[in-house]
Chain A
Amino acid sequence: MIPSQFKAWSVAALLVLSPSAFAQDEDVFAQYREMFGDDNPADLVSWDGEDLWSEARGPKNATLEECDLGLGPGVVEGAYAQLPRYFADTDKVMDLETRLVHCMVELQGFDAAEITAKPFTSTGEPQTDLEKLSTYIAGASKGMPVSIDLDHPKTKLAYELGKKMFFYRSGPYDFGCSTCHRQSGKRIRLQALPNLSPGAEDADKVYTTWPGYRISQGSVRTFEWRMRDCGRQQRMPEMTFGSDIAIGLITYLAAEANDAEMDAPGLKR
């Protein structure tokens, strides 16, 4: 039974709670970020990637200059802004990182399993080849509009898988991407959370600034890493590099950011 006095002030408590609970405070870190100017250590990683692109390597001792990122062999400028996309030669939807692995295997003779066993660096270690190449290639789309072509059935299916995964809640904490990313103006501690649900424009600001230099780890992080690490914090098993769900999520988020201007590599917490 609910005692009457409990009823009265429970409403009062609500009033007290409400103001601060919904304070849309300004960005606490605007001043901090603004002091960085445009001097982003990711630029050094981007240079390394540019060198790797045209360096003869691997068992076949070949460069990546014949690699087709979707705009024709060797075309780098603008390629990232249109990825992920369907590739006829593999009959699969691929994001930049899986396409790079494909080229490193086909053109240079590297072993796919070896590359994908450790696609991401750990704090304090040098950047992986994939990270250097991704930073360079993403930087070569700076200023260009994201344009994901959803007409191809396989790309559209990847989009649908990504959207479905966005709302998928499981595991001990019942977490899904939507737990943190379906509302606007929210934050975890002081970490602003972009609203990435269908139609939410925060995807414009977010998707276009990956890959980005993570200050906290002193290294550039790519979007495949971003998907894997979110999965980790959702208490899920580890997401496989280049898997259908990873590429689906990336296709979904990229499509939600269609027409936004690429501005990578970014500078992140």
Chain B
Amino acid sequence: MTTTRRSFLKFGGAMLGTLATAALWPLQVFAARPDDAFKSKSMTDLEKLLGGTPTDSADIDFKTPDIAENGAVVPVSIESNIPGTSEIMILVEQNPNPLSAMFLIPEGTKPAVSTRIKVAQTSNLIAVVKANGKLYSSTKETKVTLGGCGG
């Protein structure tokens, strides 16, 4: 799928014109970003900040690679099948700051996100879902290997 700009525009069907614009509307202040949660260094005080220890749930479809060729970019995807899901978070237990990303899911948006995160070393990756004020989680380990030829 060629992605150079011109062919990107020519691409038919559901593709769309891209319009790079300056900020169209005044910079909204987002609902408060939990800055302290992003700075917290341990799982325990993170759980205090997030409001309790999540209960493990099989209704979270959490995809992570078993072995990551490079910890700098680890693709993860989370889909919550728990009704009333309003928040999804990604935690990396062994990272200096375990909280990596947080997503607020309003009505009408599917509780499913994919992104790529940095995993400092082999670690448990935890997807935390908030639904109807309760916390649920799914945990998977990703091995991070010594990349390259060691040179």
A33 touches B69 (CB 8 A): yes
Q: Which residues of chain B come closer than 8 Å to A14, judged between CB atoms? A: none
Q: How far is the CA of A36 from the CA of B66 in the complex (A)?
A: 14
- Contact stretch, chosen from B39-47, B100-108, B142-150: B142-150
Whether A18 sits at the interface, judged by CB under 8 Å, is: no
Whether B113 sits at the interface, judged by CB under 8 Å, is: no
Residue of B nearest to A27 (CB): B69
Q: Which of A29, A47, A142 contacts B69 (CB 8 A)?
A: A29
Q: Which residues of chain A come closer than 8 Å to B145, judged between CB atoms? A: 189-190
The proximity string for B residues 131-143 relative to A, scoring 1 for CB distances below 8 Å and 0 otherwise, is 0000000000000
The proximity string for B residues 73-112 relative to A, scoring 1 for CB distances below 8 Å and 0 otherwise, is 1110100000000000000000000000000000000000
Report the contact-size class of chain A (Cβ under 8 Å from the partner): 20 to 34
A189 touches B69 (CB 8 A): no
- Contact stretch, chosen from B1-9, B24-32, B49-57: B1-9
A residues near B (Cβ < 8 Å) are 28-29, 31-33, 35-36, 38, 40, 43, 46-47, 50, 136, 139-140, 142-143, 180, 188-191, 215-216, 218, 232-233, 269
Q: How far is the CA of A32 from the CA of B71 in the complex (A)?
A: 11
Whether B60 sits at the interface, judged by CB under 8 Å, is: no
Q: How far is the CA of A142 from the CA of B3 in the complex (A)?
A: 10
Q: Which residues of chain B come closer than 8 Å to A28, judged between CB atoms? A: 67, 69
Output the least CB separation between B123 and chain A (Å).
Answer: 15
Residue of A nearest to B73 (CB): A215
Q: How far is the CA of A31 from the CA of B67 in the complex (A)?
A: 8
Can you name 20 A-B pairs with beta carbons within 8 Å? A28-B69, A31-B65, A32-B74, A33-B69, A35-B75, A38-B1, A40-B3, A47-B4, A143-B2, A180-B149, A188-B149, A188-B150, A189-B147, A189-B149, A190-B69, A191-B147, A191-B148, A215-B69, A215-B72, A218-B72
Sample of 17 more A-B contacts, CB < 8 Å, known A35-B75, A46-B4? A28-B67, A29-B69, A32-B68, A32-B75, A35-B65, A38-B1, A139-B4, A188-B149, A189-B146, A189-B147, A189-B150, A190-B67, A190-B69, A190-B147, A191-B148, A215-B70, A216-B70
A269 touches B148 (CB 8 A): yes
Residue of A nearest to B149 (CB): A188
Q: Which of B6, B69, B151 contacts A32 (CB 8 A)?
A: B69
Q: How far is the CA of A189 from the CA of B145 in the complex (A)?
A: 9
Residue of A nearest to B3 (CB): A43
Q: How far is the CA of A216 from the CA of B147 in the complex (A)?
A: 8
B3 touches A46 (CB 8 A): yes
Residue of A nearest to B67 (CB): A28
Q: Which of B5, B67, B151 contacts A29 (CB 8 A)?
A: B67
Q: Which residues of chain B come closer than 8 Å to A38, judged between CB atoms? A: 1
Q: Choose among B1, B63, B72 the residue with the greatest number of A CB atoms under 10 Å from its CB.
A: B72
Q: Which residues of chain A come closer than 8 Å to B147, judged between CB atoms? A: 189-191, 216, 269
B149 touches A191 (CB 8 A): yes
Q: How far is the CA of A189 from the CA of B72 in the complex (A)?
A: 18
Q: Which residues of chain A come closer than 8 Å to B4, judged between CB atoms? A: 46-47, 50, 136, 139-140
Q: How far is the CA of A19 from the CA of B65 in the complex (A)?
A: 27
Output the least CB separation between A263 and chain B (Å).
Answer: 11
B5 touches A139 (CB 8 A): no
Q: How far is the CA of A35 from the CA of B91 in the complex (A)?
A: 19
